[in-house]
Amino acid sequence: MEKQNDLVLKVRNLRLYFNTRGGPVQAVDGVDFDLRKNEATVIIGESGCGKSSLAKAILRLLPRNAGTYDGEIWLHDMNIMNMDDETYRKEIRWKRISMVPQAAMNALNPVMKIGDQVAEPAMIHMNMSKEDATKSAVRMMEHVGVPVDFLHRYSFELSGGMRQRSALAMALVTLPDVVILDEPTSALDVLTQASIMNLMKRMKKELETSFILITHDIATSSELADNVAVMYAGQVVEVSDAHRFFHQPLHPYSHALMASVPRLRETIEPEFITGQPPSLLNPPTGCRFKDRCPKRFDKCDEEPPTVLVDVDRKVKCWLYV
Amino acid sequence: MTDTITETSTAEQAKNGQALVQIKDLHVWYELKKFGFSHAGYVRAVDNVNFDLNYGEAIACVGESGCGKSSLMKTILGLNIPTKGDVIFDGEPLTQTKGENLRRYRSKIGYIQQDPFGALPPFMNVERILEEPLIINGVKDKEERRRRIEKILEEVKLTPIAEVLPKFPHMLSGGQQQRVVIARAMIMEPKLLVADEPVSMLDASVRVEVLRLLRKLQETHNLAVLYITHDLSTVRYFSEYIFVMYAGEIVEFARMDDLLDDSKHPYTHALLEASSDPNADNALVQREIPKGEPPSLVNPPTGCRFHPRCPQFMPGICDVKAPPNIEVSPKHLVACWLYDENRGHAF
């Protein structure tokens, strides 16, 4: 499509393996996806499919046992995989790509005032003075709907929703190009969750920011998604725009995943997926979903290619070759 | 809300003509103390809750965190003492039950925790986990214990049994752990199962499997189930009745379909509005969410406790007097002045 110029982040063949006593764990194994300006790409997958490792790989927050780590991550026209760690830390992390970690509401520092915490990234990464940083913190807190007098409160004085908003303000205060949200609403109540989603929809329009939303909750993911990438056993098995994906998923796994969502407004019986995802220590050859797939055939024992089915729709499955 | 709510009567019910669980005018208040001794008010976690749960019936309790659903659950389990009112379980009033009887009372109720990994002791294998309740409740014959463990594992489909028994919780997947928790809750053959968000920690694909298992157990054992959740989308597949709690009180009580398709209380509306089905159009709309947050239960708002957040708030009525339970259609009760004919002007 003609939107190429708007590409903010382009991930190609990204791999992150962890070394363990049993051998390398292929947590992220050849992941490709794109992110455009003012859009959100949702990474959907079950626990253990490597979606949080993908976030770590993009932000280069690698644990000590990280082994193979390669591929390309293009931020605008720059391949940030070629940077050394120090330049990456100074130029990219939090300045250009920031993150709201899982259970961010409990990740706030209990002995620091909220205002100081929100201002801190601006001071460290943007070299702002304390006054300027506080000013932009106030601006960002207004943006995300935290009352300004919360500036001088501590995190335990805030409700879950307000803490989540503060964590979001922290990630946004440096006005990064990309914000990675790792399960941003999973620990919140229904109403709070919906209002945080409302807020993020608004942020996406108002700020020059793109979001990567990592979640296992398919219903909530549709609240923010412009594009969807489905991960299974360390690989992306389907990439699509949200509209076509939620209407008609292509990969048999996406299909099964969508069918497993209990619906509130429809009476279709949800279905579950039999079996378990494979171990990432020694993933099966060929398609990794084949043992659970209802549409398995002989070809599936070979590694499936990624097929471009339609404009901007890719699926890693032999059925579409 | 004390009407008996199912027509189907089991043999047991016919025997004593009573519901399995009767919650009567239940209040659970926690005392707050200043400096550890002087009285400083109450947290009114459960306030004036009434409902009946019949033999073999599933009922869902929906509410956000801090609405009192856990306090209600703990009281039914016999872990909290009611401040006022009573829980009558199988003809036995909880407030009169003490000591050895209280332990027997508890053994008749199965409890499924939210987080299976947290609920299972990490240093016990599956066999030991399932044996423990039997030992505590005086099943002395080892053969008999083994037989019951095997039977229950068969039922929760944790097979092959010989492979599962020596495993420790960390060696099982999330879905399997939850099955062990369910097996442990079922091993004393309880009449009531209390399930506290049993699937919220599980992956989407496993969730449905566990819900189906629960439903099957309910049907085969004619179990009464209290299903506690904040996620409205899973309740449709599970229970016949549902009630919504807000700030310690029941605000709406109805048949499942009546509530989901024709909700009356503004708070129920809000909950339904906030829950989404997967649909790409969701990204285009801003949802209408009531402003603010649930009130403190130490000093709840006067009148209707939802009035400060209610989009249909009527000044002079809602903030003055607590609304009565109004029966809008058979077995559909709602505590809201909107459905009172004279809008509370009678007082």
Tell me, what's the pLDDT at B237?
78
Residue A187 has pLDDT above 80, yes or no: no
Tell me, what's the pLDDT at B142?
93
CB contact under 8 Å between A216 and B173, yes or no, is: no
Tokens of A88: 């990456």
Q: Is B279 on the interface with A (CB under 8 A)?
A: yes
Give the nearest partner residue to B233 out of A226, A243, A264, using CB atoms: A264
Tokens of B97: 């039950």
Would you say B334 and B294 are in contact if contact means Cβ atoms under 8 Å apart? no
Q: Is B230 on the interface with A (CB under 8 A)?
A: yes
Cα separation, A2 vs A18, in Å, equals 38
Q: Is A312 on the interface with B (CB under 8 A)?
A: no
Determine which of A43-57, A114-128, B45-59, B226-240 has the lowest per-residue pLDDT on average. B226-240
Closest residue, chain B, to A245 (C-alpha): B280
Q: What is the mean pLDDT of residues A116-133?
A: 93
Residue A9 has pLDDT above 90, yes or no: yes
Q: Considering only CA atoms, which of A54, A46, A41 is closest in space to residue A242? A: A41
Which chain A residues are Cβ-neighbours of B203 within 8 angstroms?
46-47, 216
Distance set, CA B168 to CA A315, B119, B128, B148, B233 (Å): 38, 13, 10, 19, 32
Q: Is A200 on the interface with B (CB under 8 A)?
A: no
Half-sphere exposure of B297 (CA within 13 A, CB side): 22
Tell me, what's the pLDDT at A149?
87
Tell me, what's the pLDDT at A185?
82
Closest residue, chain B, to A146 (C-alpha): B292
Which chain A residues are Cβ-neighbours of B260 within 8 angstroms?
264
Q: Is B270 on the interface with A (CB under 8 A)?
A: yes
Per-residue burial over A206-232, b if 16 or more Cβ lie within 10 Å, else e, is: eeebbbbbbbbbbbbbbbbbbbbbbbb
Cα separation, B55 vs B169, in Å, equals 32
Tokens of B65: 């965190």
Closest residue, chain A, to B291 (C-alpha): A195
Query: Choosing among B64, B215, B257, B282, which should be mutated to test the A contact, i.e. which has the most A CBs within 10 A?
Result: B282
Tokens of B345: 């002007």
Would you say A181 and A100 are in contact if contact means Cβ atoms under 8 Å apart? yes
Cα separation, B257 vs B263, in Å, equals 9
Q: Round the CA-based radius of gyration of chain A to a whole number and report it.
A: 20
Which chain B residues are Cβ-neighbours of A223 within 8 angstroms?
276, 282-283
CB contact under 8 Å between B273 and A194, yes or no, is: yes
Distance set, CA A26 to CA A48, A217, A230, A293 (Å): 11, 23, 17, 21
Q: Please, which residues have CB within 8 angstroms of residue B46's CB and are 6 or more apart in sequence?
A: B26, B27, B28, B29, B68, B71, B72, B75, B248
Tell me, what's the pLDDT at B16?
59
Cα separation, B149 vs B126, in Å, equals 10
* Residue A74: count of CB within 10 angstroms of its CB: 16
Q: Is B62 on the interface with A (CB under 8 A)?
A: no
Residue ranges of A 239-268 with Cβ closer than 8 A to chain B:
242-247, 256-258, 260-267
Residue A88 has pLDDT above 90, yes or no: yes
Give the nearest partner residue to A190 out of B236, B260, B274, using CB atoms: B274
CB contact under 8 Å between B204 and A267, yes or no, is: no
Residue A53 has pLDDT above 70, yes or no: yes
Give the nearest partner residue to B270 out of A159, A191, A245, using CB atoms: A191
Q: What is the mean pLDDT of residues A175-197?
A: 88
CB contact under 8 Å between B205 and A202, yes or no, is: no
Q: What is the mean pLDDT of residues A210-231?
A: 92
Question: Which amino acid appears at position B181 of this protein?
Answer: V
CB contact under 8 Å between B233 and A159, yes or no, is: no
Tokens 């079950």 locate to A46
Question: pLDDT 10s per residue in chain B (347 long)?
Answer: 444 444 444 444 444 568 899 999 999 999 888 887 888 889 999 999 999 999 989 999 998 888 888 899 999 999 988 999 999 998 889 988 888 889 889 999 999 998 898 999 999 999 999 999 999 998 899 999 999 999 999 999 998 899 999 999 999 988 899 999 999 999 999 999 999 989 888 887 788 889 999 999 999 999 999 999 888 888 887 788 999 999 999 999 999 989 998 999 999 999 998 888 888 888 888 888 888 888 888 989 999 999 999 999 999 889 999 999 999 999 999 999 999 877 655 44
Give phi and psi for B251, each to the nearest 5.
-100, -25
pLDDT, greater one: A189 or A140: A140
Which chain B residues are Cβ-neighbours of A247 within 8 angstroms?
280
Tokens of A48: 């253990």
Cα separation, B156 vs B212, in Å, equals 11
Q: Considering only CA atoms, which of B57, B50, B60 is closest in space to residue B7? A: B57
pLDDT per residue as tens digits for the range A244-300: 999 999 999 999 999 988 888 877 888 888 888 888 888 889 999 999 999 999 999
pLDDT per residue as tens digits for the range A300-309: 999 999 999 9
Q: Is A47 on the interface with B (CB under 8 A)?
A: yes
CA B161 to chain centre: 31
Cα separation, A227 vs B227, in Å, equals 35
Closest residue, chain B, to A270 (C-alpha): B208
Residue ranges of A 133-162 with Cβ closer than 8 A to chain B:
159-161
Q: Is B287 on the interface with A (CB under 8 A)?
A: yes
Tell me, what's the pLDDT at B88?
92
CB contact under 8 Å between A219 and B232, yes or no, is: no
pLDDT, greater one: B17 or A116: A116
Distance of residue A267 Cα from the nearest chain B Cα, in angstroms: 8
Tell me, what's the pLDDT at A5?
62
Sign of the torsion angle spanned by Cα atoms B117, B119, B124, B127: negative
Tokens 């939303």 locate to A213
CB contact under 8 Å between B204 and A216, yes or no, is: yes
Q: Considering only CA atoms, which of B123, B63, B108, B85 is closest in space to residue B1? A: B85
Which chain A residues are Cβ-neighbours of B293 within 8 angstroms?
159, 161, 192
Question: Which amino acid appears at position A116 of this protein?
Answer: D
Q: What is the mean pLDDT of residues A97-102?
A: 90
Tell me, what's the pLDDT at B251?
95
Which chain B residues are Cβ-neighbours of A218 within 8 angstroms?
204, 278
Q: Round the CA-based radius of gyration of chain B to a whole number and report it.
A: 21
Cα separation, B244 vs B251, in Å, equals 6
CB contact under 8 Å between B293 and A161, yes or no, is: yes
Q: Is B274 on the interface with A (CB under 8 A)?
A: yes
**How is residue A262 annotated by DSSP?**
P
